[in-house]
Amino acid sequence: DIIENRIVSHYDYCEKNGIEYLRVIYPNKFDIYTENLPFALQSAIKDTISRGEQISNRLLSKGIDVLSFKNTFEPYKYKTTYRKTDTHWNNFGGFLAYQDVMNTLYKRTNIKSYEPTKLEDYTFLYELIESGDIITKLADYPYNISDMGPVLFPKFPYEYIKETNDKRLPYDSMVLKNSKAKSDKTLLIFSDSYVMGQRLFYAMNFRTVYHLKNQAFNRDLIEL
């Protein structure tokens, strides 16, 4: 009840202020690659409804559709959408999530500039990725395990400006500006580290992108 009422209040505030509100639940690596979990953990999650699903069902009854990417990622499991030594998705996984979000926004508003870029708009390359958070959880693990991860480079013109020193914003915030974006709109993201693999793609559609990392919904920051 508490979580539902909080999110409904967020939705109502945005609607009153002319803001399109999207609520998103990001799937963990083990949500997509469940078959690789130890048998005891697989047994524990069988025939249960996750907290995320419970909240989503409650909000849907209030007319708020929460985005979840499990069905988005399932067809691409063979391509490796998550970093090998990390719980986060890689750049390609972030792109798939970005497409899902922007397709939802485009269908809701019918604003052409919200139509997401396509995979063929990018050059698909690979780069070296250092050990991730799975390795760091192994106490005193003596080795640094690197991996090759996909990176998408735009084939079209863009002009990125990254700002990380805006003193008005919370610590670890980032502002992205792209003068060649599809629209002159602004996107504000309250999220954890999962958006780090997405935010450059959002800058293709929005002139300015604010990513306030590890920040809850904050009306003062929205007004700012």
- In SS3 terms, the chain reads as CHHHHHHHHHHHHHHHCCCCCCCEECCCHHHHCHHHCCHHHHHHCCCCCCHHHHHHHHHHCCCCCCEECHHHHHHHHHHCCECCCCCCECHHHHHHHHHHHHHHHHHHHCCHHHCCCCHHHEEEEEEEECCCHHHHCCCCCCCCCCEEEEEEEECCCCCEEEECCCCCCCCCCEEEEECCCCCCCEEEEEECHHHHHCHHHHCCCCCEEEEEECCCCCHHHHHC
**Residue predicted with more confidence, 80 or 123:** 123
Residue 56 has pLDDT above 70, yes or no: yes
pTM, entire model: 0.90
pLDDT band at 219 (very low <50, low <70, confident <90, very high): very high
70-79, 115-124, 154-163, 173-182: least confidently modelled range: 70-79
pLDDT band at 200 (very low <50, low <70, confident <90, very high): very high
Structure tokens given for 168: 């008005």
Neighbours of 105 (CB within 10 A): 18
The pLDDT value given to residue 145 = 80
Residue 223 has pLDDT above 70, yes or no: yes
pLDDT tens for 8-25 read: 999 999 999 999 999 998
pLDDT tens for 28-52 read: 888 888 888 888 888 877 667 888 8
- Mean pLDDT for the stretch of residues 172-183: 95
